[in-house]
Chain A
């Protein structure tokens, strides 16, 4: 950390080059004189191995007096800039050459800013640390007296590092690592890199923990729901085949047959009510359920056999061919019918999809209408017929 003047430099140069002292001094003097002169006269001097000196023109600019807050103009002036030769730059930076520019995520940037804010306190505690651990000899912060002696002993690369090291020690990021011998700046910064990876690890572990916890907590809910669904399926195929005839065709056949009378009577009762309110529709409506029901047991098992029920319930209306392609099994098996929502008298031009769209808001649910009323989808609806609209509940 010495400061060498021209004479000292010349002496060193003389011993290196084998020139006489006087000649060396003359050479060094001319060397820098020429640079100084020519940078002013030519505006640019390039010296191989050293770098480029350049004369820059600075424009007028406005500034603020820090004490008074007054605005004033800094007059335009000329400035000599120096750009070191790339090779020289790299050689001098060798102690720090292991570092690379890191792209920060937003969280990391925020964390860094937070650390810098709390930096002052950390700096104080850190600067005290070297005194406690007085062991390291080359410690610049604590033992500046020993430094000149220590510097030559250490490898040359370590020496320029010392000065920066003092600064690095003051940095919050260095943290506890600052207590280490200052020559090992690299270690400090490496430990910093380790801290970052450590942080990442901690993040990953905590996320995994949270996920595991959530799984354990919510398992009873999910599990019971799954069980309920499974129960439901078996129960339904046993007892209430009429509700989901599409699932178990074999079991459904007898069930449908058994429960059929009930539905039929229900329907008949309802139709009778309908007849009372709408006398003109009466003859058609009354005959309709009666003659349609018997046909159901034959067609229904066939329809149920296929997993995609919709394919079986083919309505005669033209637009349904297009609609069918949009149906998925998920749309038609994810509900169960839990009773009658109401009745609907078929009007001219109405289709099951139109009714489904009207009542449920989506035409995809029309198979429930067909299934609930045991309609043969290969036959067309009759105007004035009454169909029951099932109440749908999401499974």
Chain B
């Protein structure tokens, strides 16, 4: 499902036009982005947890050339599905 389909679905469910929906999605993502920039965690029951995590730097090896590289640390957004959602998968 691509973004357009997603917006259509959302607009149908909320009764808002797709254009407006796109705006709102942008706002919502911005709100969450600010939260994540503060290191906050967004936890949604039934969906899961979206949080930022620090990935440590590590030495990675290119298996074909054997060249070692020091990959720098980074901050990554991670998603962990809720147990409810995981149950649905089974």
Binding site for B on A (CB under 8 A): 1-6, 9, 12-13, 16-17, 19, 23, 26-28, 30-36, 38, 40, 42, 44-51, 53, 55, 77-82, 84, 88-89, 91-93, 95-96, 99-104, 106, 108-109, 112-113, 151, 156-157, 159-164, 167-168, 171, 189
Contact = CB atoms under 8 A, between A and B. Distances in A.
B43 A162 contact: no
A160 B45 contact: no
Nearest to B30: A16
Interface of B: prevailing SS: mixed
Interface of A: prevailing SS: helix
A47 B56 contact: no
Contact of A91 (B26, B37, B38, B79): B37
Contacts of A53: 79
B37 A93 contact: no
B46 A92 contact: no
A63 to B, nearest CB: 19
A128 to B, nearest CB: 21
B77 A88 contact: yes
A126 to B, nearest CB: 15
Nearest to A48: B3
B28 A164 contact: no
A34 B12 CA distance: 11
Interface string B3-37: 10010011001101000001111111111111111
B32 A6 contact: no
Contacts, number: 198
A253 to B, nearest CB: 68
Contacts of B14: 23, 26-27, 30
Given A88-B29, A92-B76, A99-B72, 7 more contacts: A1-B38, A4-B43, A33-B46, A49-B30, A82-B50, A82-B78, A109-B68
B1 A103 contact: no
Interface residues of B, number: 60
A104 B39 contact: no
Given A46-B6, A162-B39, A102 B44 contact: no
Contacts of B28: 13, 17, 27-28, 31
B45 A6 contact: yes
Nearest to A100: B72
A80 B85 contact: yes
Interface string B63-90: 0000111111111111101000100111
A100 to B, nearest CB: 6
A99 B75 CA distance: 12
A93 B46 contact: no
A35 B42 CA distance: 15
